[in-house]
Structure 1
Amino acid sequence: MNNMWGSMAQYDAIYWPWPIAVYLFLAGLSAGSIMVSLIVKWNKHPDNTNSIWDAMVRAGAVIGPVAICVGLLLLIIDLGKPLSFYWLLITYNIKSVMSIGVLCLLLYTPFTFLFAMMIFEKEIEQYKALAVLRPLTKAIRSFAHIAKDIEYILFVLAICVGMYTGFLLGAIEKIPLWNTPILPILFLVSGFSSGIAANILIGMAFFKGSLNKESIKYLLVLDLRAIMFEIPLLIILFLGLYLGGSSEFATTALTDSLYGKVFWIGVVLVGLFVPIIIAATALKNHAYKPLFIVINSLVVLVGVVILRYYVVYAGQVL
Structure 2
Amino acid sequence: MKEQLMVSGREISNLYPHVDVWGFGIPLYLFIGGLAAGILLFATYYFIKGKADEMPVTVKVSTIIPPIIIAIGLAFLVGDLHHKAYFWQLMMHFRLESPMSWGAWVLTVVFVISIFWPLSYMDDLIVFFEQNNKKWLAKQFKKVQKLINKLPVIPWFIKFTQRNRKPIAYVTFFLSIVLGIYTGILLSAMNARPLWNSSLLGPLFLVSGVSTGAAAIMWMSNNEAEKKLFSRIDIGLIIIELTFILLLFLGFVWGPEAQVRSAEMFLGGEFTAVFWGIFVGMGLFLPAILELFELKGYHIPIAIPAFLILLGGLIFRVIMVDAGQISTYLY
TM-score of the aligned structures, taking structure 1 as reference length: 0.86
Is residue 2:313 matched to residue 1:311? no
Q: Tell me the residue number matched to 1:97.
A: 99
Q: Tell me the residue number matched to 2:29.
A: 23
Change (3 A) 1:293 1:235: same
Change (3 A) 1:138 1:98: closer
158-167 vs 96-105, which moves further: 96-105
Q: Tell me the residue number matched to 1:127.
A: 142
123-132 vs 166-175, which moves further: 123-132
Change (3 A) 1:83 1:109: same
Q: Which amino acid aligns with 2:268?
A: T
Identity of aligned residues (%): 29
Asked if the contact 2:218–2:226 (Cα under 8 Å) also holds between the matched residues in 1, the reply is no
Q: 2:265 aligns with which of 239, 246, 252?
A: 252
Is residue 2:74 matched to residue 1:72? yes
Q: Distance in 2 between matches of 1:216 and 1:40?
A: 14
Is residue 2:167 matched to residue 1:180? no
Change (3 A) 1:219 1:137: farther
Q: Tell me the residue number matched to 1:261.
A: 273
Q: Which amino acid aligns with 2:318?
A: Y
Change (3 A) 1:173 1:147: same
CA offsets, 1:289-312, max 9 Å, x none? 4x5211010111111111101110
Q: Tell me the residue number matched to 2:158.
A: 140
TM-aligned CA deviation for residue 138 of structure 1:
4.7
Q: Which ranges in structure 1 are unaligned for 5 or more consecutive residues?
A: 1-7, 205-210
Aligned residues between the structures: 296
Q: 2:89 aligns with which of 77, 81, 87?
A: 87
Q: Tell me the residue number matched to 2:53.
A: 50
CA offsets, 1:24-70, max 9 Å, x none? 1011111111112223444566xxx8236x12333421111111111
Larger Rg over CA atoms: 2
Asked if the contact 2:45–2:173 (Cα under 8 Å) also holds between the matched residues in 1, the reply is no
Q: Tell me the residue number matched to 1:280.
A: 292
Change (3 A) 1:143 1:296: closer
Change (3 A) 1:150 1:288: farther
Q: Distance in 1 between matches of 2:170 and 2:273?
A: 41
Asked if the contact 1:24–1:165 (Cα under 8 Å) also holds between the matched residues in 2, the reply is yes
Q: Which ranges in structure 2 are unaligned for 5 or more consecutive residues?
A: 1-12, 127-137
CA offsets, 1:230-277, max 9 Å, x none? 111000111111222122221233221x31111111211011110122
Asked if the contact 1:41–1:51 (Cα under 8 Å) also holds between the matched residues in 2, the reply is no
User: Greater share of helix residues, 1 or 2?
Assistant: 1
Q: Tell me the residue number matched to 1:227.
A: 238
